[in-house]
Amino acid sequence: MTQQATPQAAAAAPQLSEFELSPELSQFRDQVRDYTEKHLGNAAAYDAEVKFPRDAVEAAAKLGLLRTTVAREYGGSAMGNLASCIMLEEINSVCVSTGVTISVHNSLVNSLLGKWCNEAQKKRWFPKMVTGEWLGAYCLSEAYSGSDAAALRCEAKLEGDHYVMNGAKLWITTGSEADLFVVFARTGPDRVKGISAFVVEKSWPGVGVGKKERKLGLRGSPTTEIVLENVKVPADCLIAEEGQGFTIALDTLDGGRLGIASQALGIARAAIDLIRDHLAARVDAKGRPNASQRDQWTLADLAADLDAYRFLTWRAAILRDNHVRCSTEAAMAKLSASRLANRAARAAVSILGIAGASGATTAERLLRDARITEIYEGATDIQRLVIARGLMA
């Protein structure tokens, strides 16, 4: 007979997880804040000079921030997705170019290698990836394949003990700086089952960095074309099995979207802080706050949403850390946080007036940086489709 749950039994069991971070995660967040204060002072210069934040990324590597999603046996810290989200919110609240570099390296590349590669492959690539000696890039998009990832045309033909790869990947974050590319290529005619994933090293003949994109925001993060011309990819660089590429790409994007949701939370938080400081400084002759009620409402709404969407993001991260599929939850987090980042940055520019629009504060940079969070790793309308399909399934 099934035992009925009694009110007493329910009361005895914890009803919800605690809302406080564990002491370890709290301490980790403090360490990351310390890193942002010491090493991200040049964020405005990286943007203005369109300069890769090499110093900041190297400092992050020294602190172990490029190995949070790697198991200890391969030199990682195994801190997982929740810790990565906490870290990425902090970093992105100061410098999105550093933030996206670390997000792609950890959430898209290292976590993919850890989950899908075999033992020999992990032993081959992780030593360089966990120390930051090598940076990773994730090469899915092409000229005719963005939201519709299965339309990709880059092909890999098996010839004896290697594949011959030809194609061009577009809009690749860290493209010019990365040494290891995860490349999705067509190995068969089936639209979805004909896609496979490979590791391609930058030093191999035929691998080239093409056009560098000029962008609205994230200007310190190099986004480039990756050209693959008759590249001989050893067969042992195939990840998992032929035909599993699309599954690997989508599964990895669930984790990546948590990184971008955290990036958006960081941008939103920075914008809200600007608004708060600006309004708090507006006082009447007697020193009493005199910010308009409308601006106070805006501040309140944004701050309430920031806390709500942080919990949405952390919920998905905890699910993923527990190996529970979280496509719907990750899409909800990215959808909400990226919209909030745009709303908060727009409000900051409006409320700060000339100081907001002129570059005298970080508001205009936040507005430019926020835009991309609604485009990459699945545009806003695609997140809505993922959520709706998840709900209907």
Ligand X SMILES: Cc1cc2nc3c(=O)[nH]c(=O)nc-3n(C[C@H](O)[C@H](O)[C@H](O)COP(=O)(O)OP(=O)(O)OC[C@H]3O[C@@H](n4cnc5c(N)ncnc54)[C@H](O)[C@@H]3O)c2cc1C
CA–CA distance, 26 with 30 (Å, rounded to integer)? 6
Q: Considering the rule CB under 6 A, would residue 309 count as an interface residue with ligand X? A: no
Q: Considering the rule CB under 6 A, would residue 190 count as an interface residue with ligand X? A: no
Q: Considering the rule CB under 6 A, would residue 121 count as an interface residue with ligand X? A: no
Among 43, 140, 299, 333, binds ligand X (CB under 6 A): 140
Q: Considering the rule CB under 6 A, would residue 368 count as an interface residue with ligand X? A: no
Q: 218 and 369 in contact (C-beta within 8 Å)? A: yes
Render 51-97 in DSSP notation, one character per residue: ---HHHHHHHHHTTTT-TTS-GGGT----HHHHHHHHHHHHHTT-HH
CA–CA distance, 333 with 310 (Å, rounded to integer)? 8
- When computed from its CA atoms, the radius of gyration of the chain, rounded to whole angstroms, is 22
Report the residue number whose CB is nearest to ligand X.
Answer: 146
Query: Which of 285, 270, 388, 272 has the alpha carbon at shortest distance from 327?
Result: 388
Tokens, residue 201: 């090293």
Among 25, 71, 250, 375, binds ligand X (CB under 6 A): 375
CB atoms within 10 A of CB 148: 10
Compute the CA torsion angle 42, 45, 46, 49 (nearest 10 deg): -160
The verdict on whether 377 is a catalytic residue reads yes
CB atoms within 10 A of CB 363: 28
Among the listed ranges 185-193, 203-211, 263-271, 380-388, the one in contact with ligand X (CB under 6 A) is 380-388
Q: Considering the rule CB under 6 A, would residue 95 count as an interface residue with ligand X? A: no
Residue 113 or 139: which CB sits closer to ligand X?
139
Q: Considering the rule CB under 6 A, would residue 223 count as an interface residue with ligand X? A: yes
Among the listed ranges 46-54, 127-135, 338-346, 378-386, the one in contact with ligand X (CB under 6 A) is 378-386
Q: Which residues contact 182 (CB under 8 A, 6 or more apart)?
A: 108, 109, 112, 113, 136, 137, 138, 139, 197, 198, 199, 200, 239
Q: Considering the rule CB under 6 A, would residue 76 count as an interface residue with ligand X? A: no
Q: Considering the rule CB under 6 A, would residue 335 count as an interface residue with ligand X? A: no
Residue 180 or 272: which CB sits closer to ligand X?
180
Residue 81 or 223: which CB sits closer to ligand X?
223
Residue 164 or 379: which CB sits closer to ligand X?
379
Residue 72 or 214: which CB sits closer to ligand X?
214
CB atoms within 10 A of CB 231: 23
With contacts defined by CB under 6 A, how many residues of the chain interact with ligand X? 23
Tokens, residue 384: 């809505």
Among 31, 141, 166, 176, binds ligand X (CB under 6 A): 141
Closest approach, Cβ 380 to ligand X, in A, equals: 6
CA–CA distance, 353 with 338 (Å, rounded to integer)? 23
Q: Which 148-187 positions form the footprint of ligand X (CB under 6 A)?
A: 171-173
Residue 148 or 241: which CB sits closer to ligand X?
148
Closest approach, Cβ 319 to ligand X, in A, equals: 23
Among the listed ranges 131-139, 194-202, 238-246, 263-271, the one in contact with ligand X (CB under 6 A) is 131-139
Residue 85 or 140: which CB sits closer to ligand X?
140
Q: Considering the rule CB under 6 A, would residue 356 count as an interface residue with ligand X? A: no
Using a 10 angstrom Cβ sphere, with 0-12 exposed, 13-18 middle and 19 or more buried, the burial of residue 330 is buried
Bridge partners (DSSP) of residue 163 are: 158, 233
Helix (H, G, I), strand (E, B) or coil at 157: strand
Closest approach, Cβ 119 to ligand X, in A, equals: 27
CA–CA distance, 321 with 317 (Å, rounded to integer)? 6
Task: List residues near ligand X by CB under 6 A.
Answer: 104, 137-141, 146-147, 171-173, 215, 218, 223, 372, 375-377, 379-382, 385
The residues annotated as belonging to the active site are: 377
